Amino acid sequence: MNRNDWAAPPIMETLRRALEEDIGPGDVTTKACVPETRTARGRFLAREPLVLAGTPLLPLIYRMRGGVYDLVFLKQDGDRCEDGETIAQVYGRAHTLLECERVALNFLQRLSGVATAARLFADRVAGTNCRVLDTRKTTPGLRLLEKLATEAGGVTNHRLGLFDAVLIKNNHIAAAGGVRNAIERTRAASGFPIQIEVRTREELREALEANAERLLLDNLTPEEAGEWVREIDGRATVELSGGVTADNVRAYAEAGADFVSSGAMTHSARAMDLSFRLELA
């Protein structure tokens, strides 16, 4: 993924819908008490230590409403921010700044929460040969944004959806009639590298005999994972998943995995505390 992905059509539609949801036919409070011609300056502030994500959305949000004349970033996605630090400064129509305040903060708070959680995982495996992967356990409709946020936190993006990588899981194996059938049918029908989930030592050996390129070992303890990795002995790359947390990810990495994956970075990330302060220009 790259910075241009922030302006992808699905994200633009998400922003449009978020603004419509909040503003609707108009901000009645702002219209009632703030003169239409008034200009103002605003600052986005971190209210706790965090890893920032979502800043590329701010110019897109303001562009949809119009009337913002200057936007300066003091921090960028992936930066660590301390309590009280200014992230960005904006100048424009007071109506626009007030209308967009909550939508802008909601995205920054959510995505910074994901990036902060991701950075914790990435930091915990530093110095090993293991990389942390994100998953598809994302907020419906926000997957691209949340994967951009995990990337900002230092984590490697796994598949974006069912369309860009092969991962044969236990239910696929059941429906295909076994590990070997699933691998052989997939190899004949798809040009993607084959990753397959294995749950028993018998399935592991069957997958290796069928020349699976990548194995997903699920719900093992770090000690069990180490034993399985030694049996694999480099014949396939190994991803460990299931029960991986920030507290134990180092142990899984040291078991010899090439990758560890965890949905906690997205499904359990809490929104970080950020605020917006406005003053007359």
Which residue type sits at 156? T
Q: What is the DSSP string of 213-260?
A: SEEEEES--HHHHHHHHHHHTTSSEEEEESS--TTTHHHHHHTT-SEE
Q: Which of 41, 102, 185, 235 is labelled catalytic? A: 102
- What 8-state DSSP symbol labels residue 192? S
Catalytic residue among 136, 137, 159, 199, which? Answer: 137
Alpha carbon distance 117, 270 (integer Å): 8
Of 80, 159, 169, 199, which is the active-site residue?
A: 169
- Catalytic status, residue 99: no
92 near 40, Cβ under 8 Å? Answer: yes
Out of 77, 151, 197, 203, the active site residue is: 197
Known active-site residue 197? yes
Phi, psi of 51 (to 5 degrees): -105, 125
CB 50 within 8 A of CB 78: no
Ranges of beta strands (E only) in the chain are 39-46, 50-51, 68-73, 80-81, 86-93, 131-133, 166-168, 194-198, 214-218, 237-241, 259-261, 274-280
Catalytic site residue 79?
Answer: no
Contact, 261 vs 239, CB < 8 A?
A: yes
Catalytic residue among 27, 218, 227, 273: 218
Are 128 and 253 in contact by the 8 Å Cβ rule? The answer is yes
- Residues labelled as active-site residues: 102, 137, 169, 197, 218
